[in-house]
Structure 1
Amino acid sequence: MASTAPPATPAPWCGRDSKPRTFEKHSPVICYDKPEASIVSKPEYDDKRFQALTGDLIQTLVVPKREARTWTMQAGDLCRITVNEGSQVGDMNFWNLENTAERFYSGKTRQLHSTHLRVYDRLWSCLPYLRPMATFVFDSLASYGIDEDGGALHDVIGTRCDDYTYKLITGKDRVGSCHSSLVKAVVEERGLTEQDVHDVWNIFMCTGFTRDTQQYFCKPSPARKGDFIDFVADMNLLVALSACPQGDVSIQVGAEVPDDKCHPLKVEVFRKK
């Protein structure tokens, strides 16, 4: 029996003769005014940096290539992370040392500051706490700025590389990512779990979004032996750092990364006298 339903009417925007839709033009508006707590006193933090660096070096450790390590800091301590052999990026997690439920919130840090952190920006904790965990106080690569493709350093855009996404891309199982390295370090060294590992601060990593498709891109890190960053702890911290198995991130995720593309990172913690 033939259907008596009337023929479907094309939506007005699907018709051959429909006109392209036009949109009003607006100037961009910054969504989040900077709260007072996000604006630091530069002389105060320059002095905190000086007091720590002229105090005592209380800890030195090397994060081996393709691995992760953890360490602790007291409020006021300064941490320096150095590219001590060859170009290398790192992925960092932060927790309140006394309450690991309070941890770094990359998304809110991005909203309050920028996609890529610069000196005197702060790293913020998750809800419901929302307070500064650390303050970025020196960058030997600060002059890189924003390049012709919109690339910049030290992003809070991307997540850590992980073996789950690797399998989605390649169809292969693997254990060898920033996520798995961070998980191993926090489980073995601090008694935490995989669920405690969270989105990261990507240090020394050059990233941005393509202008045509808005896809996340990476460029080889401009960091060279001797480059470093300093940050000051604003609370007692547990910190974890992975020396990324992508090395300088010059090779696309999913492709094999030669071992000689990967290097360790050096960590030093200073405390004022």
Structure 2
Amino acid sequence: MAKVEAAYRAGKGSKLEIDKAFYDGLVEGKANRTLIETVKVPMREGMAWEVPAGHVFRIRVPEGPQVGDFNMWNLHDPRERMWASRTRQIQRAHISTHDRIWSTLPFLRPMVTIIDDTLASYGEDEQGGRVHDLLGTRCDPYVNHLLTGEDFDHHCHSNLVRAVLPYGLTEFDVHDVLNVFQCTGLNEDDQYFMKACPARKGDYLEFFAEIDLLCALSCCPGGDLSVDLWGPEAQDPLSTCHPLEVEIYKLESEVLESWKPPVSPNYQGQHGLKKPAIDWSAEKQKLQRKE
């Protein structure tokens, strides 16, 4: 079967192209870095933290396999936040080294670039599962009540809500996530599935902050997702839960001399609100005559 090309492709000079050599030079062992903060995310809880532009942060597994749900905002303007669906289109549904996470309109710029991933070699398994997905979103108490009739306050949505409240954000600011260390895919019926987390103690996913960030991470109450959370075989996965950690590093200034924070597209069209209506039929006829 012939390969179907992606809809969004990088042309010459496209903003989708990145300097891989620059980002590869930021990884541990290639650029001097200083650990400035460690954020511990307890089992079934959430935490938020700040990352200055030009710094690196690492989400790591300190004990055992565990899934985390990740959100991100512009530290100075939370209206700019990570855009999972556009990132799926521009990058891929499961992201890894050299992929970026993009922000919402009208900002549309990379917020982070992934520079290291100890699970990059996992690839695709026999069921089509891959790690670090943007396919699904966070578990939440509303769907849980819908499926079970029960209230539970430590779903990832609720964990993220509690984590960002001290920063002046609310439930309405929590958005679709990156599922870190989560193994997922689509089955033969085009339905979302989750598999047991392949991460082990010491595994990590590492990001370079392109702008000043507010980040939040929920340590998923589903643990490593090795047991069913809903349905006839559902059980409490507490025994599969572990904490997560975040390490924030400052890089030596010399390695950032060629780097500049990304800017938003310079769109000035104002969506046609202040322009005369266009006769698209006439425009189409002109185009056809040219052909």
Q: Same fold (TM over 0.5)?
A: yes
Asked if the contact 1:153–1:205 (Cα under 8 Å) also holds between the matched residues in 2, the reply is yes
| Deviation, structure 1 residue 46 | 1.7
Q: Secondary structure at the match of 1:84?
A: coil
Paired-residue identity, %: 47
Change (3 A) 1:197 1:52: farther
Moved more, 257-266 or 226-235: 257-266
* Match among 196, 204, 208 for residue 220 of structure 1: 196
Moved more, 94-103 or 171-180: 171-180
Alignment of 1:186-201 (within 5 A): 186-187=164-165, 189-201=166-178
| Deviation, structure 1 residue 171 | 1.8
| Deviation, structure 1 residue 250 | 1.5
| Runs of 5+ consecutive residues of structure 2 not aligned to the other structure | 253-291
Instruction: Give the aligned residue type for 2:81.
Output: R
Aligned to 1:156: 134
* Match among 243, 246, 259 for residue 264 of structure 1: 243
| Deviation, structure 1 residue 172 | 1.7
Alignment of 1:9-158 (within 5 A): 28-34=4-10, 36-50=14-28, 54-158=32-136
| Deviation, structure 1 residue 37 | 1.9
Asked if the contact 1:51–1:272 (Cα under 8 Å) also holds between the matched residues in 2, the reply is no
| Deviation, structure 1 residue 259 | 2.2
Return the index of the structure with the highest Cα Rg: 1
For residues 199 and 250 of structure 1, what CA distance do their matches in structure 2 show? Answer: 22
Aligned to 2:151: 173
For residues 205 and 56 of structure 1, what CA distance do their matches in structure 2 show? Answer: 28
| Runs of 5+ consecutive residues of structure 1 not aligned to the other structure | 1-24
For residues 85 and 244 of structure 1, what CA distance do their matches in structure 2 show? Answer: 15
Moved more, 128-137 or 37-46: 37-46
1:134-192 per-residue CA deviation (whole Å, 9 max, x = no partner) reads: 001111111100111111000011110001111111122221200000001111x3121
Aligned to 1:204: 181
For residues 246 and 224 of structure 1, what CA distance do their matches in structure 2 show? Answer: 16
**Corresponding pairs, count:** 247
| Deviation, structure 1 residue 28 | 3.3
Asked if the contact 1:52–1:77 (Cα under 8 Å) also holds between the matched residues in 2, the reply is no
1:243 aligns with 2:222: no
| Deviation, structure 1 residue 249 | 1.1
| Deviation, structure 1 residue 120 | 0.1
Q: TM-score, normalised by structure 1?
A: 0.86
Q: TM-score, normalised by structure 2?
A: 0.81
Change (3 A) 1:51 1:236: farther
For residues 211 and 182 of structure 2, what CA distance do their matches in structure 1 show? Answer: 25
Asked if the contact 1:34–1:112 (Cα under 8 Å) also holds between the matched residues in 2, the reply is no
